[in-house]
């Protein structure tokens, strides 16, 4: 990093400004250089965003040979007859490194050679011995993880820093395309763009039912570039699984990088959502007493992506307690993890955090925390024109012909005599009532005054 910055030949006076900004705002020096216009996004991405290369030596894995050998021993217990290539596929390491592992297994008499297709050890066929089965069972009693070889903590930190969401170049066209399926005001699109581009936290607030969750989900569509996520981490003798098929969506096979370290998987930038079920324990490492290894917390799975806390203020834990947990991560972009052994370590907190709530911010948090949330965006009730646009779209996707006179009856008569203000979710819910009525009566749904009256009576209290 230092040599790369020196190669840019930035004037000393400008570098001093960058260092001063780093001291004031925190983060990496490269972020300050980027903000001050001393380097371009393209330069930084080309330097930092690198494909993880397969390790060429055991030392390059960041792991000890004994650990890899123990992991391989657990694998071969379930493999039956195998060769080095098959084992390499299981542990996601190059064959030349697996050759060293097999040498250890042969010396310990944990495997036996069944035959060979040539003179090279790479052609040997192996089978686990009784001693190997006993050793594998002992290892499974200690830790039942049997998966790809983990990556080191330092490699993980380097990769997350290189894929930071704060370096993603966002323009107005991308924002418009991501929000094209929603009816939102041009002013909102203009406001939300810089907020997303900053990679900082965003507070979405306003009355219920007006699209805060939908807007948060649309923000996730803005980021199209894939990232690399490790299957697991190795930290101080413990394994932490990171890749989660529920959260991480691999890119298609044709887009996979064949030269990449297979201990990493290429996925879309994650979008993690948590609502009223969120507790403090979900933000810490989870140790499984049966499997004897850890699962990464939600914010770690969301690294380099988006973490949406929906219905903020409805959680089982007090909002202030939850937010106090994140004061340092939001400010310094690092989080602190603890193992059951008592060891503490830090991980990057590189995510765009979205808080969505229909409770007024002042009722939830104090000024000290609101200051740390860079952007506050109010999502209000739609205008009549926006409401009509939403209603037309909902009618279209449900195969219902829009009737202007009936819509006027809805806005002037039903809403006009009701204390209920128009909300962005109402068209979907009202039309759903019409569809349900038609399905029950085995007829085609039609937009009529009578159908609206029935839907209105059963929808609003």
Structure tokens at 37: 């216009």
CATH 1.10.10.10 residue spans of the chain: 58-149
Q: Report the residue count for the chain.
A: 461
255: confidence class by pLDDT, cuts 50, 70, 90: very low
Indicate the fold that domain 58-149 takes in CATH. Arc Repressor Mutant, subunit A (1.10.10)
Rounded Cα distance between 46 and 433, Å, is 53
Given this model, what pLDDT does residue 3 score?
Answer: 55
Rounded Cα distance between 174 and 402, Å, is 30
Domain spanning 152-378: which CATH class is it, in words? alpha beta
**Kind plus residue range of the DSSP H or E element containing 436:** helix 426-441
pLDDT tens per residue, range 287-298: 999 999 999 999
**Quick one: how many helices (H) and strands (E) in the chain?**
21, 16
CATH 3.40.50.300 residue spans of the chain: 152-378
Q: Is the confidence at residue 47, as pLDDT, over 70? A: no
CB 113 within 8 Å of CB 124: yes
pLDDT tens per residue, range 299-354: 999 999 999 988 888 887 888 788 788 888 888 889 999 998 889 999 999 999 99
Structure tokens at 266: 């290429």
Structure tokens at 177: 């395309």
CB 280 within 8 Å of CB 325: yes
Measured in degrees and rounded to the nearest 5, phi and psi for residue 87 equal -70, -40
Mean pLDDT computed over every residue of the chain: 88
SS3 226: strand
Given this model, what pLDDT does residue 433 score?
Answer: 94
Given this model, what pLDDT does residue 249 score?
Answer: 93
The model's pTM: 0.81
| Strongest mean pLDDT among 114-118, 125-129, 158-162, 271-275 | 125-129
Q: Are strands 334-338 and 286-287 parallel, antiparallel or unpaired?
A: unpaired
191: confidence class by pLDDT, cuts 50, 70, 90: confident
Structure tokens at 414: 């039903």
């Amino acid at each position: 990093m230092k040599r790369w910055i020196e190669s840019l030949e930035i004037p000393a006076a400008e570098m001093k400004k960058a260092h001063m900004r780093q001291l004031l705002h925190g983060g990496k020096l490269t972020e300050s250089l980027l903000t001050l216009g001393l380097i371009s996004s393209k330069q930084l991405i080309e330097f930092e965003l690198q494909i993880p290369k397969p390790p060429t030596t055991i030392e390059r894995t960041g792991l000890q040979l004994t650990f890899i050998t123990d992991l391989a021993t657990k694998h071969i217990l379930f493999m039956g007859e195998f060769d080095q290539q098959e084992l390499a596929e299981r542990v996601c390491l190059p064959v030349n490194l697996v050759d060293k592992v097999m040498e250890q297994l042969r010396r310990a008499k944990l495997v036996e050679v069944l035959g060979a297709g040539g003179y090279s050890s790479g052609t040997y066929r192996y089978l686990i011995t009784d001693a190997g089965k006993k050793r594998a069972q002992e290892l499974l009693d200690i830790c039942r993880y049997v998966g790809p070889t983990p990556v080191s903590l330092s490699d993980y930190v380097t990769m997350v820093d290189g894929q930071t969401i704060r370096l993603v170049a966002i323009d107005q066209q991308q924002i418009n395309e991501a929000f094209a399926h929603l009816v939102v005001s041009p002013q909102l699109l203009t406001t939300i763009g810089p907020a997303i581009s900053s990679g900082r936290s965003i507070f979405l607030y306003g009355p219920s039912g007006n699209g805060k969750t939908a807007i948060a989900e649309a923000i996730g569509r803005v980021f199209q570039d894939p990232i690399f996520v490790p299957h697991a981490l190795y930290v101080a003798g413990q394994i932490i699984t990171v890749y989660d098929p529920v959260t991480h969506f691999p890119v298609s096979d044709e887009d996979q990088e064949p030269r990449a370290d297979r201990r990493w998987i290429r996925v879309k930038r994650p979008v993690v959502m948590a609502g009223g079920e969120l507790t403090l324990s979900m933000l810490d490492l989870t140790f499984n007493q049966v499997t004897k290894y850890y699962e990464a917390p939600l914010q770690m799975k969301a690294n380099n992506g988006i973490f949406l806390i929906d219905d903020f203020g409805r959680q089982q834990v007090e909002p202030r307690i939850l937010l106090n947990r994140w004061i340092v991560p939001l400010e310094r972009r690092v989080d602190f993890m603890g193992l059951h052994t008592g060891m503490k370590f830090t991980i990057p907190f590189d995510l765009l955090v979205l808080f969505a709530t229909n409770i007024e911010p002042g009722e939830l948090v104090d000024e000290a925390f609101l200051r740390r949330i860079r952007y506050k965006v109010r999502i209000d009730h739609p205008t009549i024109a926006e409401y009509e646009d939403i209603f037309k779209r909902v009618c279209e996707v449900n195969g219902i012909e829009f009737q202007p006179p009936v819509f006027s009856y809805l806005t002037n008569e039903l809403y006009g005599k009701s204390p209920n203000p128009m909300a962005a979710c109402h068209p979907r819910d009202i039309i759903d009532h019409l569809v349900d009525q038609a399905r029950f009566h085995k007829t085609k749904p039609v937009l009529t005054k009578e159908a609206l009256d029935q839907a209105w009576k059963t929808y609003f209290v």
